[in-house]
Chain A
């Protein structure tokens, strides 16, 4: 099956690259480990004053260390899944630069088969990364992802689909990998900022609604706080709509005659 062959090649490219695996699987776990260590080591102030060396984190700590760890675990997971989306998109642009995509387009395959193969590869790659991070964080750091493994998997599938669609829009837009990675990194940073990921207040409650991060993050946090899929159905619906809109945009971009260049 040519579609499977394309998907397998994509998966191999990311998952057989030790440096990439280190970046997208080990780094988020390490980041979660550092944050959970810092949070757990911080003493809750007895007299309401801020402990030496801590500022906002300790004040937020009034809501409990466990919820802070969940907050960072969920935001780190979303952030690194988005990074995996960048890498997947960059791979397609790299194929354009190295002319292998043009060669693939010259084979007796329909355009939709080639796109399906790439999408499938990226979906499986991102899903594998997500599962690895979820399992490692649970086993090594004891992070509680919620009551149901199925529920967390369903959310992860929604998030991965949205990120893959976003990556495909970028890969259809750009021909130059460096430029694309720059723009994608900026977009992710901007979305994280607008979603309030860098701050602790409610000042981004309106703008965050227009970011992918908010809906993905809220869905994870919801499950971690004991909710079920029905409770977070709105988040899932928004993620599904974003996926569909981005998917349609990617399909329009990929209709271009010389999209392989």
Chain B
């Protein structure tokens, strides 16, 4: 049985359909990436999982508990790292974490230990007595995480946790995501940074126009779309133009030649590699270097959601 399960979930705002029959399963111990353009329905989906919004229809089950039936029990299992930094500027870092710890029912030694551990984990122990108004953007983001993990939640929902921070803080946060997962938390991670999702997540779901349009491992997603692979060939002694001959090969979409580099775009470039090398060798071209560029998550994302600008 899936740990987080959404079944035919629908959410309407007045006349607009924000989430349109989404069904989704996330397994225990996974890092699941949720991608989508602005306004696609990601935040609404997350708010419904968090119990902040009620679906108009459909079911959400967390660890076998229906969120409609026992919202409080579900919320106790979750920790939210919101997209916007949600901390109290007039409280110190420690007081912030303590406050949220208390709201999750921690008291006494468990509260004290939980707060110390969360601050230690996010690298804020030395700054625990300072107020966040003096913090850098990265430190505020880390405090935002500390407030979400003080109660050691089974599920952590991270909504774009690395927006607007320096590479060091981003690296620290990404490392934290993996470490939290290693310690047993299931993580739902949304981001606009494709390389982050590609690096961190085990599986990815792509939402657009309120629908889940693709879901699976990164390799599964790449197989679902006809994305281009590219072969870059550096060569010397290019005495004749091999473009037309290579273009004639099955599956080749485009060939270009600039100075000493031939660029071939193909649906399954690896299958064409042998033939391309044969053509080049027979015409006396000396190949110095070959590199294969596979499609990344960004190209898959753009292929599925289109390149048209969104509002």
**Distance of A92 from chain B, by nearest CB (Å):** 13
Q: Is A100's CB under 8 angstroms from B105's CB?
A: no
B137 at the interface (CB under 8 A from A): no
Chain B: interface secondary structure?
A: loop
State which size class the interface on A falls in. Answer: 20 to 34
Residue of A nearest to B98 (CB): A5
Known: A9-B91, A17-B90. A102 touches B52 (CB 8 A): yes
Residue of B nearest to A101 (CB): B86
A60 at the interface (CB under 8 A from B): no
A103 at the interface (CB under 8 A from B): yes
Q: Is A108's CB under 8 angstroms from B102's CB?
A: no
Task: Name which of B74-82, B194-202, B239-247, B248-256 contacts chain A.
Answer: B74-82
Q: Is A106's CB under 8 angstroms from B147's CB?
A: no
Chain A: interface secondary structure?
A: loop
Q: Is B86's CB under 8 angstroms from A102's CB?
A: yes
Q: Is B80's CB under 8 angstroms from A103's CB?
A: yes
B302 at the interface (CB under 8 A from A): no
**Could you tell me the distance between the alpha carbons of A105 and B54 in the complex, rounded to whole angstroms?**
13
Hey, what's the 0/1 contact readout for B52-65 against A, CB within 8 Å counting as 1? Answer: 11100000000000
**Could you tell me the distance between the alpha carbons of A211 and B104 in the complex, rounded to whole angstroms?**
41
**Distance of A134 from chain B, by nearest CB (Å):** 27
**Distance of A77 from chain B, by nearest CB (Å):** 27
B51 at the interface (CB under 8 A from A): yes
Q: List residues of B (80-111) whose CB comes within 8 Å of A's CBs.
A: 80, 82, 84-91, 99-100, 102-105
A49 at the interface (CB under 8 A from B): no
Hey, what's the 0/1 contact readout for A13-44 against B, CB within 8 Å counting as 1? Answer: 10011000000000000000000000000000
Q: List residues of B (25-66) whose CB comes within 8 Å of A's CBs.
A: 50-54
**Distance of A17 from chain B, by nearest CB (Å):** 7
B72 at the interface (CB under 8 A from A): yes
**Could you tell me the distance between the alpha carbons of A2 and B75 in the complex, rounded to whole angstroms?**
14
Known: A100-B88, A105-B52, A106-B80. A5 touches B102 (CB 8 A): yes
B225 at the interface (CB under 8 A from A): no
Q: Is A103's CB under 8 angstroms from B82's CB?
A: yes
User: Which of chain B's residues have a CB closer than 8 A to the CB of A254?
Assistant: none
Q: Is A103's CB under 8 angstroms from B105's CB?
A: no
**Could you tell me the distance between the alpha carbons of A110 and B72 in the complex, rounded to whole angstroms?**
7
A241 at the interface (CB under 8 A from B): no
Q: Is A99's CB under 8 angstroms from B100's CB?
A: no
8 contacts between A and B (CB under 8 A): A98-B86, A99-B84, A102-B86, A103-B86, A103-B100, A110-B72, A258-B52, A260-B52
A: residues with CB less than 8 A from B are: 1-2, 5-6, 9, 12-13, 16-17, 98-100, 102-110, 257-258, 260
